[in-house]
Amino acid sequence: MDIRSAAIDLGLISPEIIILASAMVVLLLGTVLKSRGLMAFLSLLGLVVGLVLVLQQWSQPQSGYYGMVLKDNFSVFFSVVFIMTAIITLLMARDYLIAKHIDRHEFYTLLMFSTVGMMLMAGSTDLVVIFLGLEIMSVPLYVMAGMNKIDPKSNESGIKYFMIGAFASSFLVFGIALLYGASGTTDLRRIMADFSFLKMQSELLLYSGALLVMTGFAFKVAAVPFHMWVPDVYEGAPTPVTGFFSVGPKAAGFAALLRICVYGFSGMAELTAVFWLLAVLTMVVGNVLAIFQNNIKRMLAYSSIAHAGYILVALTAGGEGAVSSAVYYLLAYMFFNLGGFTIVTIIDSRTGSNSQIDEIKGLAGRHPYLASLLALFMFALAGFPPTAGFMGKFYIFSEAVRNGFVWLTVIAVMNSLVSVFYYLRVVVAAFFGKPDQEFSPVSFSPALFIALLVTAVGTLALGCFPGYWLELSQMSMFPII
């Protein structure tokens, strides 16, 4: 093996390199220059260039670095989701950060570092690279959660996220260690290729390793019973960061889980039962507990747990169609969840806001357009047609039925009906609630306008013209060997 051959693979990770480089430029320039607007603009530029470079890799599956980095359509699709998430977060964050006096350039740098970590995570079948990507993603997130240093709630959010995150990663590492011991490799493709042999030879190591890895990822995607940290972390973190948490790391965790389940552990039929249980618990606990929340960020936290449950339904169903429906759902979820968080961010930017649902009362009277957008996103989260939420759920549930998981689908549909209640509560508060005092107006900026426009158009486009997007998500399936 010639070490020099690795040099020619640089083009493969050019999007990551561009985003990393601009993150470092922003980090250094920010200590010299005072203009935070310029920093935000430079970060946006880096992310957009990264997005363009990623899009050029579509439909040209390549691998490099001795098979450790894989740029198939799956990783390109997810990279686009991650970069879009980062861009929308950046657009919605700016005014909030200024209002809360935490407008630091480190925020943009950390956002980009985290994005690169997610891209690496989705772009590999090697457990070592997946682990490294996970850590590059998580470590900046711990800092972002605790970014508002003088706010004790933000502190608490940071420390809780850090403790749980580090705890989960150590499970993951131990699981990888056992898998490595069982198979002598960390590449999932090779584990899968030798699966039946390995199963005979070292079944215990293989299964305990797989379960530990699953536990680690269950923490990351917040599946019940590993969800306890989610509401606290989501409530305490700065609101745009919460929006980023609820989409980016979750999508990255599912990207890695999909790879692992399809490549690595497809031979473990027993895992289906584990996933079945996880999916049911996650949906039920998420939806039921969301009903009792008065804080909108906590409510959305439980709602994000419930949505992880729907995606777990797709994972349980297995097979190519189900995986592409999960991919489609994650894209749709990115649009409407980030849209919802953009509006919560706008409302939260007002001084003295405590992100209670009661504070939304009277929004329609003062800002009718904002209130209708809020209604759109809430309807999408609840899964009403013609929004993206409906089509996403429809594809997942029909795949589950097609693969014979009828009861699971019944439970999922019932859960989705329950969820209507708490999403509509927000809409009712916005349109018909009588505010205790007059609704203090919110301020608007072009950045927020673009963020809302992109998310709203995305939510409607995926709902009204699902065919094209479904085709994209089917094309982004990696070949199942």
Partner 1 sequence: MEHFNTFFPIFFLFVFAAILAGVFLLLSVLFGRKTKTAAKGDPYESGMKPIGTTRERFPVRFYLVAILFIIFDIEVVFLYPWAVIYDKLGMFGFMEMLVFVVILLVGYFYVLGKGALKWD
Partner 2 sequence: MIPIAHYLILGGLLFAIGAVGVIVSRNLIVMFMSIELMLNAANLAIIAFSRSLNLMDGHVFVFLIMAVAAAEAAVGLAIIIAIFRNRETINADKFNLLRR
The closest of 221, 237, 242 to 89, measured between CA atoms, is: 242
Shortest Cβ 140–partner 2 spacing (Å): 9
At residue 165, φ and ψ (nearest 5 deg) are -65, -45
- CA contacts within 13 A on the Cβ side of 155: 4
d(CA 287, CA 307): 9
Binding partner of residue 195 among partner 1, partner 2, none, CB under 5 to 8 Å per kind? none
Q: Which stretch binds partner 1 (CB under 8 A): 1-9, 242-250, 292-300, 358-366?
A: 1-9
* Tally of residues, the chain: 481
Q: DSSP for 129-187? A: HHHHHHHHHHHHHHHHHT--TT-HHHHHHHHHHHHHHHHHHHHHHHHHHHHHHHHS--B
Which of positions 156-175 make contact with partner 2 (CB under 8 A)? 156-160, 162-163, 166-167, 169-171, 173-174
Total residues at interface with partner 2 (CB under 8 A): 43
Binding mask 437-466 for partner 2 (x = CB under 8 A): ------------------------------
d(CA 180, CA 197): 15
Q: Which stretch binds partner 2 (CB under 8 A): 9-17, 83-91, 126-134, 268-276?
A: 126-134
Examine residue 434 and tell whether it contacts partner 1 (CB under 8 A): no
Q: To the nearest 10°, report the CA torsion of 413, 414, 415, 416.
A: 50
Q: Establish whether the linkage from the previous residue to 435 is cis, with ω within 30° of 0.
A: no
What are the structure tokens assigned to 246, written together? Answer: 């609820």
d(CA 208, CA 404): 28
d(CA 93, CA 242): 10
The nearer residue to partner 1, 28 or 406, going by C-beta atoms, is: 28
Examine residue 146 and tell whether it contacts partner 2 (CB under 8 A): yes
Binding mask 25-44 for partner 1 (x = CB under 8 A): --xx--xx------------
Examine residue 135 and tell whether it contacts partner 2 (CB under 8 A): yes
d(CA 340, CA 29): 33
Which of positions 93-152 make contact with partner 1 (CB under 8 A)? none
Binding mask 197-236 for partner 2 (x = CB under 8 A): ----------------------------------xx--xx
Total residues at interface with partner 1 (CB under 8 A): 9
When binding is defined by CB under 8 A, the residue of 88, 119, 122, 143 that contacts partner 2 is 143
**Amino acid identity of 326?**
A
Which of positions 183-202 make contact with partner 2 (CB under 8 A)? 184, 186
When binding is defined by CB under 8 A, the residue of 7, 150, 204, 269 that contacts partner 1 is 7
Task: Give the containing element (helix H, strand E) for 222.
Answer: none
Q: Is 9 exposed, middle or buried (0-12, 13-18, 19+ CB in 10 A)?
A: middle
**Amino acid identity of 129?**
V
Residue with tokens 């072009």: 446
Q: Establish whether the linkage from the previous residue to 368 is cis, with ω within 30° of 0.
A: no
When binding is defined by CB under 8 A, the residue of 3, 200, 269, 481 that contacts partner 1 is 3
Q: Which stretch binds partner 1 (CB under 8 A): 22-30, 120-128, 136-144, 295-303?
A: 22-30
The nearer residue to partner 2, 301 or 412, going by C-beta atoms, is: 301
The nearer residue to partner 1, 24 or 132, going by C-beta atoms, is: 24
Shortest Cβ 165–partner 1 spacing (Å): 18
Q: Which stretch binds partner 2 (CB under 8 A): 31-39, 136-144, 276-284, 457-465?
A: 136-144
Shortest Cβ 114–partner 1 spacing (Å): 16
Cβ atoms of 314 and 262 within 8 Å: the answer is: no
Which of positions 259-318 make contact with partner 2 (CB under 8 A)? 292-295, 298
Examine residue 24 and tell whether it contacts partner 1 (CB under 8 A): yes
Cβ atoms of 137 and 117 within 8 Å: the answer is: yes
What are the structure tokens assigned to 308, written together? Answer: 């992880």
Residues that bind partner 2 (CB under 8 A): 128, 131-132, 135, 139, 142-143, 146, 149-150, 152-153, 155-160, 162-163, 166-167, 169-171, 173-174, 176-178, 180-181, 184, 186, 231-232, 235-236, 292-295, 298
Residues that bind partner 1 (CB under 8 A): 3-4, 6-7, 24, 27-28, 31-32
